[in-house]
Structure 1
Amino acid sequence: TPLAAVSGLISVLAQHSGSMTEEQLADTLTTLQRQGERARVLVDNLLELAQLQHGHLDISLEEVAVRAAIESALASHPAPPGMQIELHMTDDATVRADARRLTQVMVTLLTNAYGSGAERVRVEGALMQKQVLIRVEDDGRGVAPELRAGLFEPFNRGPEGSGLGLALGRALIESFGGEMWHESVEPSGARFNIRLPRSGVA
């Protein structure tokens, strides 16, 4: 876990910092910073999921431009070098959602795709009569069969995740009146789908 990694790195620094080269020390501190950020996200997700489940999380529904939410997520969490990002979304796709929370969900889906070993991530949207469908698809290694049934359950995780991001993401989408689900992609990859009510449509 991130907390265990942070504890281990602190022990290494305490015992060996005097004999480490500047490069080794810099690498260790960078890793410590990264694991510390992962630990912060883990704690934040855990608190927000608990608050949402008990009806205590502040959700502010408003008209949100889906493309703007996706672009905000991409700006704050850009793809790794060499990864191809395809964005196909019209400017007029708007939904009833919490703008900050929708961006948060998109960050979760994007970072999961980044960590899948994918070469390409495709984000697209489709306007339906009363809903907007958002898809995030990658050509990475996909979700292991044994994890699919409980994919959106808390602490059901792969080797790199906390097991909370998808659980919180789906709970947030449902709080907007939408739904979120996963599909496998052949020959390899994953597709996460979000369906949300269109704004201004009765």
Structure 2
Amino acid sequence: MINSTLAVVLVVVAVFGIPLAVVEVNSITSNARDQVTADAVRLLTVVETRGGGDLDASSLEAQIGEDRTAWVRTPGRPAERIGPAVPAGTSVFKDTEQGTQGVSVTVVQPQSTVHKQIYDILLVIVGIAAAAVAAAVVLAVRQANRLSGPLVDLAKTAERLGSGDATPRDRRYAVPELDRVSQVLDASAERIARMLTAERRLAADASHQLRTPLTALSMRLEEIIETAGDEETVKEEASIALGQVERLTDVVQRLLTNSRDHRGDTGIAFDLDDVIKQQMEEWRPAAAAAGRALEREGQGRLRVVGTPGTIAQVLAALIENALMHGDGTVVLRTRTAGNSVVLEVSDEGDGVSPELGSRVFERAVSGRNSTGLGLAVARDLAEADGGRLELVSMRPPVFAMFLSRQPDSEPEPDPETEADASTATSEPEPGTGPGGAPRGGSGPRA
């Protein structure tokens, strides 16, 4: 910027200064010649007026300039010099005027005096040009500093974004173009921050949600190894393990889908009893290992609209939460509420403390030393599938999942399901459950 400004000023000085200098030189030279001619004419007039008699040199010197010399020639007399002597070989401006009575007057002016005037005027022009260049350099430096500082700051901001620091700086510089760049960088920082948050959230959700099916799969495979001599048992356990693998695949796919699009989908109509039965069978060993009971109550044969895999994940999170943080019998209860089907999970533990109640679905919030992700992920999954997960009662603890009911479906009592639920109280078995549930215990949950 300094170089560009300096170049522009130099061009302007050259375009205007050089012609001005030429004009001034020509003007001074022309004026000097005119003055010499004017002095010669005036002096000749005075001499002729006096009739060419005795000439008073002192009175005639007033008719010419101080730096000029004149020679007056009259008939019959030698030339008389008026003014200072001119050294031989001196360059001069000269003019000679002839009178009507034979009188002639010659006036000369040394060119050195004119050159001094030209030098003085050129010095003034050069001084003005130098002042203009200096002023331009000062202004260019100030403007360059005004722009270079924000540009360096913007470069640092871009470098921070590249290093992973996606905090918007919200700095403006009173320069529209730079403010626009800063605004774009801030918007990019916000987008990058959202992307990084989504990636970290996906990693945390995946690690949490994959833990249960992987643990269950490991347990089933261990049982296959222990019962290798019983072919029917091996087939049954292998089938259950295959189901766990399919569920694991569904979990991964669902997490990836939710990370790309949180709007959810329309889902399909399915029987909620199938999901509940599958989850009760899956969590029965964990409940038995903890000396706990797992029961089913409420209406049966309720058809809902959603994704069976997602509903199963949410229900698994609620059962795991009840086994880990609650106490006593875990009850799965279904009912209808208008156009919704409500699936409630409750236990006989101490419930949720008042200070934790309003934050129980927040990430990293836990009443114990757990990850604090289970309920947060469960709520996100429910909302992504078009449902809703709420804490409807803190003591006793009751979590309710609200699902869309299939239109024109009529709930019916399901004695078989109720009978199956009544026998769900299991005896303690060795090992741990799919969620790594502890053997009993009560206290705040997360």
- Report TM bin, short chain: 0.5 to 0.7
| 1:111 maps to which of 317, 320, 323 | 320
Letter matched to residue 122 of structure 1:
V
Partner-residue secondary structure (3-state), 1:134: strand
Contact 1:74 1:107 in 2 (8 A): no
Counterpart in the other structure of 1:72: 278
Between Structure 1 and Structure 2, the one with more strand by share is 1
Counterpart CA distance in 2 for 1:59 and 1:76 is 27
Quote the Cα distance in structure 2 between the aligned partners of 1:176 and 1:43: 16
Contact 2:326/2:349, CA 8 A, preserved across alignment: yes
> Is residue 404 of structure 2 the alignment partner of residue 197 of structure 1?
yes
> How much is the aligned-residue C-alpha RMSD, in angstroms?
3.0
DSSP-derived class of the 2:279 partner: helix
Please report how far the alpha carbon of residue 91 of structure 1 lies from its aligned counterpart in structure 2 after TM superposition. 3.4
Q: State the shift of 1:143 in Å.
A: 1.7
Q: Deviations over 1:58-110 (max 9, x none)?
A: 86711122121112112222213431222014332111111011111111000
Out of 162, 170, 179, the residue aligned to residue 379 of structure 2 is 170
Query: 375, 393, 397: which one pairs with 1:184?
Result: 393
Structure showing greater relative contact order (alpha-carbon pairs closer than 8 Å, 6 or more residues apart): 1
* 1:101-154 per-position Cα deviation (integer Å, ceiling 9, x unaligned): 111111100011111241111111112331101111111121222222111111
Structure 1 partner of 2:40: none
**How far 1:198 sits from its partner (Å)?**
0.5
Q: Distance in 1 between matches of 2:385 and 2:207?
A: 22
Matches within 5 A, 1:66-105: 66-78=272-284, 79-81=287-289, 82-105=291-314
Segments ≥4 residues shifted beyond 6 Å: 47-50
| Equivalent residue, structure 1, for 2:339 | 130
Q: Take 2:209 and 2:294, find their aligned partners in 1: how far apart are those partners?
A: 29
Of all paired residues, the percent bearing the same amino acid is 25
Q: Residues 49 and 158 from structure 1, CA distance in 2 versus in 1: closer, same or farther, beyond 3 angstroms?
A: farther
The aligned length equals 161
Q: What CA distance in whole angstroms lies between the structure 2 residues aligned with 1:43 and 1:125?
A: 24
Q: Cα–Cα, structure 1 residues 75 and 159, in superposed 2: closer, same or farther, change >3 Å?
A: same
Alignment CA distance shift 1:136-1:191 (3 Å): same
**Larger radius of gyration between Structure 1 and Structure 2:** 2
> Which structure dedicates a bigger proportion of its chain to helix?
2
Q: Which runs of 5+ in 2 are unaligned?
A: 1-204, 212-251, 410-446
TM-score (norm 2): 0.33
Q: 1:49 to 1:152 in 2, by over 3 A?
A: farther
1:115 alignment partner, SS class:
helix
Task: Give the CA deviation at 1:185.
Answer: 4.6
Alpha carbons of structure 1 residues 157 and 201: separation in structure 2 relative to 1, 3 Å: farther
- Equivalence for 1:62: 268
Instruction: Return the alpha-carbon distance in structure 1 between the equivalents of residues 334 and 268 of structure 2.
Output: 19
**8 A contact 1:121–1:136 mirrored in 2:** yes
Question: Normalising to structure 1: TM-score of the pair?
Answer: 0.68
> 1:184, 1:191 within 8 Å by CA — same for their partners in 2?
yes
Residue 149, structure 1, aligned to residue 358, structure 2: yes
Distance in structure 1 (CA, Å) of the matches to 2:367 and 2:387: 25
Q: In structure 1, what is the Cα distance between the partners aligned to 2:262 and 2:340?
A: 27
Q: Cα gap change, 1:60/1:73 in structure 2, threshold over 3 Å: closer, same or farther?
A: farther
Aligned partner of residue 400 in structure 2, secondary structure:
strand
